[in-house]
Amino acid sequence: MFKRLQWKMVVMFVALVFITMLLAGIFMMSNIIEVYQEDFISQQEAAIEGDLIVSIRNALTSKGTNEERLAKASNSISLYAGRMGLGAQRDCYILDGNTGRVVISYSGKNTILEKTPNIISAMAGKKGQSFSFDTNYMDYAVSFSAGGEDYIFYVKDNRESVNSLVQNMMQIIIQALLISALASIFLCYFFAKTITKPITVLTEKAEDFAEGNFESRLETTSSDEIGSLMETFNYMGNVMSNAISEVAGEKHKVEVILENVNNGIIAFNTDQEIIHQNSAAKKLFGKHLKDDTKFDDFWKSLGTELSMEEFTYLNKLRPEERDIEFGKSRIKAYIIPFRIEKGKIAGIVSVFEDVTKQFNLEESRRKFVAEVSHELKTPLTTIGTYTETLLDGYLDDKEMATSLLKTVHSETDKMTALVKNLLTLSRYDAQKEEIQKELFSLDELLREVVKTFKVEAEKKGLKLIYNLTTQSPTILGDKFQIERAVKNIVSNAIKYTDTGAVKIFCGYLYNEAYVKVEDTGKGIPEKDLPHIFERFYRVDKARSREMGGTGLGLAITKEIIESHGGSVSAESEIGSFTRFTIKLPVAKEE
Ligand code: ADP
């Protein structure tokens, strides 16, 4: 397609050629007329200087009739006709100096001449040789006197020859104009194309740039300014491409970092719109955080009053911190306003750290200390009271003193058991409990446990039944620890069962050994079931204490079993049964 710039250049070029040629034509034509006129005058002057007037005067004053005199004068003119350039266009006259009437006409045409300015000037005795471009003739008039009469020597050229010359010239100029216009259109088309083509290419390249494509390269075909412009464009493309890829690399790096940090990050602009949110933030707040959530609304929904306007209006750049309770989570939020270069706030980045674990840990530590203090306080109070009673006068009463000291002893045992259990747990917490690994038969272990509790069970009138349901599974682990874990469960079963039986089953399924301890006791309420493995958790605190329980048995069992790669769970129905299941990996055969 012929582009607009190309058209403009063609039109400009053609107009330029046209105007130049037109001016040249006009200049040439005016010069031709001028030269022609100068030539006309010089011819007449030459004739006069060659004594034509003298010769005419002599002829007009010679003897003879008037006709003879006029004929002589006419002859004198004929002698100069060649030099004066007389012919069809140019005639020479002798006029009456007073009236301007034609006395002699060289061509013999007896015409009446119009009184031209030059004739009028000659009638006034001056030379008439002025010209005007407007008139279509040239004339020359000089007054002279002969025999006392005034005459005017007058030459008139009707300028037809020069007019036709001018006409011819005009035709030639117009033809030349048309030809040169056509030629210049063609020339200019190709010339303009050489200029506009690279511009078109450059435009396309610039459009590519605008679309972010800096990879395409321009082929430089010339070494002129356009060629160097193209090279500069290529260079610019390289620089931009490098800069963009550097920026893209940086951006990607930042995005990867933001995506992979555990903290939730949300950035808002000053219009309160979300401009960035990472997956951790989405995970943390879920449906609560939508793409169109506004800054103020977001914080309001978290139960914190924060307003973007406050930051922007006061240009507050100091970061702030907030502690948030979001559902079951505890979140620490850092609110960091940011600005782009120096100036006003451009937005706010909020970083959310899920501190639920730390919070819960802190909380459970607090609870733990309180529980331990409480657990120790009861026996210590008892010991304190009993020893005080003893000292207050019962030392001599042997029976009373023995009874009091028995209680003191039993309370000390309870405290010792508690402290021992606490130490065991703290070793598990610090992962310092050494596991003495050995291969042992679970069946054998359980038989020993049954033996240990047989008397105790029978004392309560309970049946203690053991059943091996498959072949005996072999376990690789700390036999002593596992025994302790199982004992805790069996002892609980006997402790919390008044009638019926305690049944122990052992076996394995695939690579998993199991020990099930089932009793027909009072059971554990459903609401307590998920908590019984927690430290110090007891369903019936008073009864547990009374029975010498520390509330740590199941917690220790859980630690032991889990440290062996197994699991422990409990099922129960109130007033019906309680079943504990221990699962342990079976030792791989060598
Ligand atoms: P404790 O020293 O009090 O027995 P444990 O950690 O061994 O502490 O057990 C935690 C709590 O679980 C007990 O206080 C008791 O309320 C409940 N419990 C454990 N085993 C049984 C069971 N077989 N039947 C009913 N309640 C049980």
Same domain, 235 and 279: no
Same domain, 490 and 410: no
- 308 C-beta closer than 6 A to ligand 1: no
Same domain, 277 and 254: no
Residue 163 has pLDDT above 90, yes or no: no
Let me know if residue 197 belongs to a domain.
Answer: no
Let me know if residue 256 belongs to a domain.
Answer: yes
Mean pLDDT throughout 301-305? 88
CA of 495 to the centre of ligand 1 (A): 8
CA of 559 to the centre of ligand 1 (A): 16
Same domain, 228 and 320: no
Let me know if residue 102 belongs to a domain.
Answer: yes
- 421 C-beta closer than 6 A to ligand 1: no
Same domain, 24 and 160: yes
pLDDT score, position 590: 55
CATH number for the domain spanning 51: value is 3.30.450.20
Same domain, 10 and 153: yes
Residue nearest to atom 2 of ligand 1 (CA): 549
| 348 — pLDDT class (breaks 50, 70, 90) | very high
Q: Which two tokens stand for residue 409?
A: 């002893």
Distances (CA, A) of 414 to 264, 377, 382, 392, 519: 48, 12, 12, 25, 25
pLDDT score, position 466: 97
Contact partners, residue 409, CB within 8 Å, separation at least 6: none
- Number of neighbours of residue 152 by Cβ within 10 angstroms: 25
Q: What is the pLDDT of residues 129-161, one digit of tens each?
A: 887 767 788 899 999 988 888 999 999 888 777
> Last residue of a domain, which of 353, 388, 417?
353
Let me know if residue 14 belongs to a domain.
Answer: yes
Let me know if residue 207 belongs to a domain.
Answer: no
- 524 C-beta closer than 6 A to ligand 1: yes
Q: Which two tokens stand for residue 330?
A: 């505890």
Same domain, 321 and 403: no
Same domain, 443 and 563: yes
CA of 524 to the centre of ligand 1 (A): 8
Q: Which amino acid is at 53?
A: I
- 549 C-beta closer than 6 A to ligand 1: yes
Same domain, 216 and 310: no
Which of the given ranges, 281-285, 339-343, 490-494, has the highest pLDDT on average? 490-494
Euclidean distance between CA atoms 472 and 568, whole angstroms:
19
Q: What is the pLDDT of residues 375-395, one digit of tens each?
A: 889 889 999 999 999 998 888
Q: Which of 363, 369, 362 is nearest to 536 (CA)?
A: 369
Give 220-248 as a 3 state SS string: CCCCCHHHHHHHHHHHHHHHHHHHHHHHH
CA of 434 to the centre of ligand 1 (A): 26
> Last residue of a domain, which of 429, 454, 488?
429
Q: What is the pLDDT of residues 484-518, one digit of tens each?
A: 999 999 999 999 999 999 999 999 999 999 999 99
Predicted model pTM: 0.52
Let me know if residue 493 belongs to a domain.
Answer: yes
Residue nearest to atom 16 of ligand 1 (CA): 539
Number of domains in the chain: 5
Same domain, 414 and 558: no
CATH number for the domain spanning 555: value is 3.30.565.10
Residue 165 has pLDDT above 80, yes or no: no
Same domain, 498 and 574: yes
Let me know if residue 176 belongs to a domain.
Answer: no
> Last residue of a domain, which of 203, 232, 260?
260
Euclidean distance between CA atoms 31 and 43, whole angstroms:
18
User: Mean pLDDT, the chain, as a whole number?
Assistant: 88
Residue 2 has pLDDT above 60, yes or no: no
Phi/psi for 50 (5° steps) reads -80, 20
State which residues form the domain around 324: 264-353
Euclidean distance between CA atoms 512 and 523, whole angstroms:
27
Same domain, 379 and 490: no
CA of 362 to the centre of ligand 1 (A): 25
Mean pLDDT throughout 532-550? 82
Residue 66 has pLDDT above 90, yes or no: no
CA of 539 to the centre of ligand 1 (A): 7
Stated as kind and residue range, the H or E segment containing 562 is helix 553-563
- 143 C-beta closer than 6 A to ligand 1: no
Let me know if residue 193 belongs to a domain.
Answer: no
Which of the given ranges, 87-101, 163-177, 504-518, has the highest pLDDT on average? 504-518
Residue nearest to atom 21 of ligand 1 (CA): 492
Burial 370-390 (b: 16+ CB within 10 A, else e): ebbeebeeebeebbeebeeeb
